[in-house]
């Protein structure tokens, strides 16, 4: 979090945050997990929207994203 610049960075895990490339669904108790993970994704959307509405820039980095690419995105945003 860069409070002076009102920039927040979330590092999202593929499993917990529903990565479209790498998310998997557990077989055991599948319906509960489907609902739980969908709720996580919706909560992320709500939180992002709420932060943006009060003037924050929100960056989300997937856990699988290459470190140099993530750093480049964050750095580019800080330079704006």
Structural domain total, the chain: 1
Integer-rounded Cα radius of gyration of the chain: 15
Quick one: pLDDT at residue 25? 87
- From first CA to last CA, the distance across the chain in angstroms is 16
pTM for the full model? 0.87
**Using one digit for the tens of pLDDT, what is the confidence trace for 33-42?**
999 999 999 9
Low-confidence spans in the chain with pLDDT less than 50? none
User: Which residues constitute the domain of residue 12?
Assistant: 3-79
Q: What is the largest CA-CA distance in the chain?
A: 46
Contacts of 63 (CB under 8 A, 6+ apart): 11, 12, 13, 14, 19
- CATH of residue 66: 3.40.960.10
């Amino acid at each position: 979090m860069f409070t002076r610049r009102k920039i927040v960075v979330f590092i999202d895990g593929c499993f917990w945050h529903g990565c479209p490339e790498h998310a998997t669904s557990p077989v055991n108790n599948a319906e509960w997990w489907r609902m739980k993970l969908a709720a996580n994704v919706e909560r992320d959307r709500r939180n992002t929207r709420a932060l943006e509405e009060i003037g924050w820039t929100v960056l989300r980095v997937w856990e699988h994203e290459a470190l140099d690419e993530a750093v480049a995105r964050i750095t580019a945003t800080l330079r704006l």
